[in-house]
A and B are shown apart, each in its own frame.
Chain A
Amino acid sequence: MSGVPGGGPGGGPGGPADTDIRGKIAIVGVGHTPQGELPGQSPELNSVLAIKEALKDAGITRDQLDGLITCKSVQGTNTDVSVGPLLGVNPRYAQTLDYGTCNFSLHLAVQAILTGMATTVALCYGANARSIRFPFGASAPTLAGASGLMHIAGPAAMALQRHKAMYGTTDEQFGWIAVSEREWARKNPIALFREPMSMSQYLDMPYMVEPLRRADVTMLSDGGVSLIVTSAERAVDYPNKPVYILGMSEQSGIRGEYTPDYLNRAFLQGAADQIWRATGLTPADIDALYIQNPTAVWVLQMLEWYGFVPVGEAGPWLAEGHTRPGGDLPVNTNGGQLSESYMWGWLHLVEAVRQLRGQAGERQISGAEIAMYCSTQVWLKGGASIISTHK
């Protein structure tokens, strides 16, 4: 059995049955808490504090929400029913995603609104993994865990080592992901890691899980993030420029390690094919790219699978500086999860909205009109969204 999806009786996935969702739904509010350590604040509190900020940004009150989609925190809390008591209202529609990364959360909100289940939905994420010292690196009672393969850095480093062996990718080429994100983070007041980091400083760092260094891996953070999503008809009445969803796609790899070469995450090709076909856009149309990245390996892989560079060629391409400030494809202009904060990618979409609205301050990309956000639930699921201030 291959890891590539098969089609149902009605044709392959994403075939002629595609429904055009372009410009029908918009993001009208974004908000978040401070990042870092927020001792004594639960994931649910951080969610609600973020929703409060997002509602303020959208210029509406919680009574105008009829949908809530929460994303479980890294430690498994923050369900809709645990956020509810603090929310203080009973929205018509409430759901929880196990691993929203904001992308899957946004997709569910689009589906809920298009099908009439809700009209205005708050998406939220909240975590307190840093202040409770959540054991992020804990291992499963398996052969792999007993052998010492633990922490997300382990399988990520495994994928990178394979990439290096197959394509000749070097430490320095790969290092441009972390160095570029740090260059962007230096322009972002909410980023947690803003001290300069040159390539030689990067290369001087010891390996953590070779071939990954500390700077290639995210650090746990506390915080909350929220977005407000509504229909395009309603969006025009909101104070900020609406940011429309032009297209979205997902592809699962839920067979996990039973998919051959699963760590390479070739299944992402399915999500890529779907979104380019559905939108009629190409990688060259993207002005700003956001890639959720618990490790820098995710950026390397998604640049390739989404077609920004041919598979195997991301290394030399990164070294050309395309993703850095001033480059022709700015990537993770918030500093990403390596330098801004670890919010499971939620702040990537907040940043994309701010860039498109022209609210990104010192790191504003001039003329940014179309942004893309790609994320994964490790090697189990991938998704992408393309958004724009134009329908």
Chain B
Amino acid sequence: MTAEAYNKPIPRLDDPVQGPFWAAAREHRLTAQRCGDCGTLVFPGLEICPACWERSLSWTDVSAEGSIWSYVVYHRAFHPGFAGELPYVVAIVENADGVRYTGRVIGRREDVTVGAKVRAVFADETPEFTLVKWELA
């Protein structure tokens, strides 16, 4: 698929703070920031550790296993790019390291529940952009 054909929102892949997350996703790795001083995990990325205020955050691989904290099912598209995908499921997933990610859930709708086990998968949407999604485990 070409970038021109992809008509859904694309994050700023070169964002100075979040960019490394998207670069890692391109390599099919799930990441979060870890504080080199106190070990706190942070996502989305920040410029300073909010726990200890040291500027020691760096991106690190984290567990691709998680469970659904909650989820919703879109029956209406608020962006034309999603119209062909209705109904679609978006969840907040807590991974095994306790980091929360918002993402699309792939799998049978009937099996999506609060607490359901999921695993990160990586959808190469354009040559530059890979979206992290979650597949029912």
**A62 vs B74: C-alpha distance when bound (angstroms):** 48
**A284 vs B39: C-alpha distance when bound (angstroms):** 46
Is A209 a contact of B50 with CB atoms below 8 Å?
no
CB-nearest residue of chain B to A211: B72
Residues of A contacting B18 with CB < 8 Å? 142
Tell whether A234 is near chain B: CB-to-CB under 8 Å.
Answer: no
Report which residue of B69, B102, B103 has the largest number of chain A beta carbons within 10 angstroms of its beta carbon. B102
Interface stretch among A155-163, A179-187, A193-201, A371-379? A155-163
Is B70 a contact of A158 with CB atoms below 8 Å?
yes
Is A137 a contact of B51 with CB atoms below 8 Å?
no
The distance from the CB of B94 to the nearest CB of chain A, in whole angstroms, is: 10
Partner of A148, one of B8, B46, B113: B8
Over the window 196-236 of chain A, the binary record of Cβ atoms lying under 8 Å from chain B Cβ atoms (1 yes, 0 no) is 00000000001111111000000000000000000000000
Is B12 a contact of A141 with CB atoms below 8 Å?
yes
Is A149 a contact of B102 with CB atoms below 8 Å?
yes
Is B50 a contact of A147 with CB atoms below 8 Å?
no
Partner of B82, one of A148, A166, A208: A148
Residues of A contacting B44 with CB < 8 Å? 142-143, 257
The distance from the CB of A358 to the nearest CB of chain B, in whole angstroms, is: 42
CB-nearest residue of chain B to A210: B73
Is A207 a contact of B115 with CB atoms below 8 Å?
no
**A154 vs B51: C-alpha distance when bound (angstroms):** 28
Task: Give the contacts of B36-52 with A (CB-CB under 8 A).
Answer: 42, 44, 46, 50-51
Partner of A147, one of B46, B69, B90: B90
The distance from the CB of B24 to the nearest CB of chain A, in whole angstroms, is: 12
Is A161 a contact of B71 with CB atoms below 8 Å?
yes
Is B75 a contact of A210 with CB atoms below 8 Å?
yes
Tell whether B61 is near chain A: CB-to-CB under 8 Å.
Answer: no
Residues of B contacting A159 with CB < 8 Å? 70
- The tally of residues in A whose CB lies under 8 Å from a CB in B reads 35
Is A161 a contact of B70 with CB atoms below 8 Å?
yes
Partner of A143, one of B8, B72, B103, B114: B103
Q: A161-B72, A162-B70, A263-B70 are in contact. Are A146 and B78 (CB under 8 A)?
A: no
Residues of B contacting A158 with CB < 8 Å? 70-72, 90, 92
Report which residue of B69, B70, B101, B104 has the largest number of chain A beta carbons within 10 angstroms of its beta carbon. B70
Tell whether A269 is near chain B: CB-to-CB under 8 Å.
Answer: no
Task: Give the contacts of B71-103 with A (CB-CB under 8 A).
Answer: 71-76, 78-79, 82, 85, 87-88, 90, 92, 100-103
Is A139 a contact of B76 with CB atoms below 8 Å?
no
**A138 vs B115: C-alpha distance when bound (angstroms):** 29
The distance from the CB of A180 to the nearest CB of chain B, in whole angstroms, is: 24
Residues of B contacting A17 with CB < 8 Å? none
Tell whether A390 is near chain B: CB-to-CB under 8 Å.
Answer: no
Q: A144-B102, A145-B11, A158-B71 are in contact. Are A151 and B132 (CB under 8 A)?
A: no
Tell whether B127 is near chain A: CB-to-CB under 8 Å.
Answer: no
Over the window 1-35 of chain A, the binary record of Cβ atoms lying under 8 Å from chain B Cβ atoms (1 yes, 0 no) is 10000000000000000000000000000000000
Partner of B131, one of A147, A206, A209, A255: A147
Is A209 a contact of B75 with CB atoms below 8 Å?
yes
Tell whether B10 is near chain A: CB-to-CB under 8 Å.
Answer: yes
Partner of B88, one of A137, A145, A148: A148
Residues of A contacting B16 with CB < 8 Å? none
Is A157 a contact of B72 with CB atoms below 8 Å?
yes
Is B70 a contact of A148 with CB atoms below 8 Å?
no
The distance from the CB of B32 to the nearest CB of chain A, in whole angstroms, is: 12
Is B72 a contact of A146 with CB atoms below 8 Å?
no
CB-nearest residue of chain B to A140: B9
Residues of A contacting B133 with CB < 8 Å? 147
**A255 vs B72: C-alpha distance when bound (angstroms):** 23
Starting from the known contacts A154-B74, A209-B76, A212-B72, 14 additional A-B residue pairs (CB-CB under 8 Å) come to: A137-B79, A141-B10, A142-B44, A143-B11, A145-B9, A146-B10, A148-B85, A148-B104, A149-B90, A151-B78, A154-B90, A165-B115, A209-B72, A210-B72
Q: What are 10 contact pairs spanning A and B, CB under 8 A?
A: A139-B9, A144-B90, A147-B104, A148-B88, A151-B78, A154-B90, A158-B90, A161-B70, A207-B75, A210-B74
Task: Using CB atoms and an 8 Å cutoff, list the residues of chain A in contact with chain B.
Answer: 1, 137-139, 141-151, 154, 157-159, 161-162, 165-166, 206-212, 255, 257-258, 261, 263
Task: Using CB atoms and an 8 Å cutoff, list the residues of chain B in contact with chain A.
Answer: 8-12, 18, 21, 42, 44, 46, 50-51, 69-76, 78-79, 82, 85, 87-88, 90, 92, 100-104, 113-115, 131-133
Top 7 closest A-B pairs, CB basis? A137-B78, A165-B114, A210-B73, A144-B102, A162-B70, A157-B72, A150-B78
